[in-house]
Amino acid sequence: MPLPIENYALIGDTHSAALIGTDGSIDWLCLPRFDSPGVFSALLGGPSDGRWQLCPVGEITSVHRRYRDETMVLETDFVTPTGRVRVIDFMPVRDRRADVMRVVEGVDGTVEMRMEWVIRFDYGEIVPWVQRRLDAQGQPAITAIGGPDAVCLRGDPLPEHDSTDHRHTAEFTVTAGERRTFSMTWYPSSDQTVPTVHDADEQLPRTERFWRSWARKCKYRGPYRAQVVRSALTLKALTYEPTGGIVAAPTTSLPEQLGGERNWDYRYCWLRDASLTLRSMLDHGYTAEAKAWRSWLLRSVAGDPEDLQILYGVAGERRLFEWTVDTLDGYQGAKPVRIGNAASGQLQLDVYGEVLDALHEARIDGIKEDDFSWPLQLALADNLLSKWDQPDNGIWEVRGELRHFTHSRMMVWVALDRLVQAVEVSGLPGDVERWRTMRDEVHEEILTKGWNDEIGAFTQYYGGSTVDAAVLLMPQMGFLPADDERFVSTMAVIERELRDGPFVKRYSTEPTEADKTAVDGLPPGEGAFLMCSFWLVRAYAMAGRTEEATDLFDQLLGLCNDVGLLAEEYDIEQNRMLGNFPQAFSHLALISAAQAVTTAGAPDRGRVREQVDGPGYGEQRSR
């Protein structure tokens, strides 16, 4: 059975990533891209679905893990009654190949080690043809070929084939000061030549230099630097380097409820992440990454604005058909295992606001518009104005009834506001009078239809009586000041209805009196969304509630696992992580909250505004 989610750590090469458990097992790896079929899929089933384990034989008295300082190189120390051994795991930065390298070092005494290598292509469905052979350098190797995929395993010793269940196993002894290296390389099965072996003595320091050089660029110098840098490194590891796209997570179908069916494929790039990603990168010194993300964004949404999707593949692919892998039992029995994501075809009006806000952020930070980028935004504006008043699926991608979600309407306002600023502040051409008029109308509509006097809060959707944590973004997006009495009242209702200790749920998943199902059309029950808790931290900070913001933020940092990673959600009752892991939005929200807490009491850099036309608006951003 797979380990608890928090027992995993991430390694990556900015093309794909692997999850390694505290038991020394790589239980999840897709090659050569994040969204490629799984090579190791034990995370969503069991050992027979593919894994690569390196660990001591017999009793293990303790396990200690860490990343080498400001890198994505993982060290795991196993302590046994006879000694201590260290396993160093990393993926060399790509040079047109995909590798996983594992170095075993004896630290103290003598330790008996065991290796189990179970290779399964296509999410465990293909048992490959495996053979021993000599590589191009005349060194022994094991190759596995199945369909379009092939891998080559090298090391000393090479495991032996167990014909009963198609595993490869080996046992060996490591003494203090001894070092053994193992590597696995993916390559297309059509290649006739096995790739040459990487030298760990060269690749390990090279990989460390890459990550440390990148981490040093981080401009954040506050009290939470270690956590901010770890989150930034995680985001970099989730970036598909050839295009600049950032996946929401490197995994699919880790459940939002144990044994439940809220299991989704997150190995794609959501436009919703665009604004927060760009702002975080620009604020912390990563201009090149911000430009690459902006370029991915523009390429992906290019074409007919009517065809705008909420998510795309890492290279901008649009056909992300959803299907299930019925041969996988799911993480600890949570089925189905989904590949692809049907939400790509939903109408989510907030995406327009996210895209236009992201491009606004880039513009303010000096990334100039070109002959392509501004006309594209004008086309998006025209398309938005033709459908802004329609019900949609909302930020939470509900699969139930379409509604007029308050957050969606707020993001329509954001889109129009950023268009107005593009003309008034940046001097770009556009129908500013129309946009300004519509912006004011949308603002007034939200204040009227999105507000419920009986509960004293902005509701999840027009005419509703329940709240939604997404409304906490109102001050951050400049819709209302954080001290506006309506927002203050809404925040109090959210605290009462959705908060449980440091945890904030998205919304109630229980059916309402008027409906037989929850608003999202799914069975009730899920964990607390960690990014919602970070949103509350920022809302506290912007409202001047600095002590509460700091206290909540410190509690949330305590939820990170031993190597500083966060999943999408947290199971309050069982005290464990839920959902895909590690989750980009959780780490983006952590970075944003850290900045807000650090600068609490000072003007918020993200949304410092001068008064714009019309009552009740936020402040216009300035330097």
Question: Taking 50 as the threshold, does the pLDDT of residue 176 lie above it?
Answer: yes
Q: Which pLDDT value is given to residue 308?
A: 86
Question: Taking 60 as the threshold, does the pLDDT of residue 433 lie above it?
Answer: yes
Work out the pLDDT band at 277, boundaries 50, 70, 90.
confident
Mean pLDDT confidence for 299-307: 85
- Summary mean pLDDT of the chain: 92
Q: At CA 146, angle to CA 145 and CA 152, rounded to 5?
A: 25
Mean pLDDT confidence for 434-444: 98
Task: Look at residue 43 and tell me if it is in a domain.
Answer: yes
Cβ atoms of 548 and 504 closer than 8 Å: no
Cβ atoms of 61 and 78 closer than 8 Å: no
Cβ atoms of 120 and 127 closer than 8 Å: yes
Smallest CA-to-CA distance from 171 within 124, 104, 107 is with 104
Work out the pLDDT band at 604, boundaries 50, 70, 90.
very low
Tens-place pLDDT, residues 54-95: 999 999 999 999 999 999 999 999 999 999 999 999 999 977
Q: What is the CATH number of the domain that holds 62?
A: 2.70.98.40
Question: Taking 50 as the threshold, does the pLDDT of residue 194 lie above it?
Answer: yes
Q: Which long-range contacts (CB under 8 A, 24 or more apart) does 605-613 make?
A: 605/283, 606/279, 606/283, 606/476, 607/475, 607/476, 607/477, 607/478, 609/478, 612/417, 612/420, 613/436, 613/440
Q: Which pLDDT value is given to residue 3?
A: 98
Q: Which pLDDT value is given to residue 7?
A: 99
**How would DSSP label each residue in 137-160?**
TS-EEEEEEETTEEEEEEESSPPE
Whether residues 557 and 425 share a domain: the answer is no
Whether residues 443 and 507 share a domain: the answer is no
Work out the pLDDT band at 615, boundaries 50, 70, 90.
very low
Tens-place pLDDT, residues 323-333: 999 999 999 99
Whether residues 496 and 599 share a domain: the answer is yes
**How would DSSP label each residue in 546-612?**
HHHHHHHHHHHHTTS-TTS---SEEETTTTEEESSSS-HHHHHHHHHHHHHHHTTTSPPTTS---B-
Whether residues 48 and 98 share a domain: the answer is yes
What is the end-to-end Cα distance of the chain in Å, rounded? 52
Question: Taking 50 as the threshold, does the pLDDT of residue 622 lie above it?
Answer: no
198 vs 238, more confident: 238
Work out the pLDDT band at 524, boundaries 50, 70, 90.
low
Whether residues 421 and 299 share a domain: the answer is yes
- Mutual angle of helices 584-598 and 225-237, in 10-degree steps: 150
Whether residues 421 and 303 share a domain: the answer is yes
Question: Taking 80 as the threshold, does the pLDDT of residue 163 lie above it?
Answer: no
List the structure tokens of 212. Answer: 């440390």
Q: Which of 209-223, 337-351, 416-430, 460-474 has the lowest mean pLDDT?
A: 337-351
For residues 453-489, one letter each, b for 16 or more C-beta atoms within 10 angstroms of the residue's C-beta and e for the rest, the string is eebebbbbbbebebbbbbbbbbbbbbbbbbebebbbe
Distance between CA atoms of 518 and 276, rounded to whole angstroms?
28
Cβ atoms of 469 and 498 closer than 8 Å: yes
Tens-place pLDDT, residues 545-582: 999 999 999 999 999 999 999 999 999 999 999 999 99
**Which bin fits 181, alpha (ψ -120 to 50), beta or left (φ > 0)?**
beta
Domain end position, chosen among 449, 471, 489: 449
Task: Look at residue 338 and tell me if it is in a domain.
Answer: no
Whether residues 438 and 564 share a domain: the answer is no
| CA distance readout (Å), 186 to 42, 102, 136, 166, 268 | 18, 15, 15, 19, 21
Cβ atoms of 151 and 170 closer than 8 Å: no
pLDDT > 70: percent of the chain: 94
Tens-place pLDDT, residues 1-32: 899 999 999 999 999 999 999 999 999 999 99
Distance between CA atoms of 398 and 394, rounded to whole angstroms?
7
Domain end position, chosen among 394, 429, 449: 449
SS3 207: helix
Task: Look at residue 491 and tell me if it is in a domain.
Answer: yes
Domain end position, chosen among 449, 470, 505: 449
Q: Under 8 Å CB-to-CB from 9, ≥6 apart: which residues?
A: 19, 20, 21, 65, 67, 74, 76, 561, 563, 565
Mean pLDDT confidence for 235-263: 94
54 vs 525, more confident: 54
List the structure tokens of 257. Answer: 């409820």
| Tally of domains in the chain | 3
SS3 66: strand
Cβ atoms of 301 and 316 closer than 8 Å: no
Residue 502 lies in domain:
481-610
Q: Which pLDDT value is given to residue 320?
A: 94
Whether residues 297 and 427 share a domain: the answer is yes
Question: Taking 80 as the threshold, does the pLDDT of residue 526 lie above it?
Answer: no
Q: Which pLDDT value is given to residue 621?
A: 34
Q: Which of 278-287, 316-325, 375-384, 549-558 has the lowest mean pLDDT?
A: 278-287
Smallest CA-to-CA distance from 515 within 401, 405, 404 is with 401
Task: Look at residue 167 and tell me if it is in a domain.
Answer: yes
Whether residues 444 and 571 share a domain: the answer is no
Task: Look at residue 462 and tell me if it is in a domain.
Answer: no
pTM summary value: 0.93
Whether residues 486 and 536 share a domain: the answer is yes
Q: Which pLDDT value is given to residue 523?
A: 66
Residue 29: its H or E element: strand 25-30
Work out the pLDDT band at 480, boundaries 50, 70, 90.
very high
Task: Look at residue 563 and tell me if it is in a domain.
Answer: yes
Distance between CA atoms of 404 and 343, rounded to whole angstroms?
18
Task: Look at residue 27 and tell me if it is in a domain.
Answer: yes
Residue 305: its H or E element: none
Task: Look at residue 23 and tell me if it is in a domain.
Answer: yes
Whether residues 536 and 424 share a domain: the answer is no
Work out the pLDDT band at 510, boundaries 50, 70, 90.
confident
Block residue for tokens 């305590």: 558
Length of the chain: 623
Whether residues 509 and 594 share a domain: the answer is yes
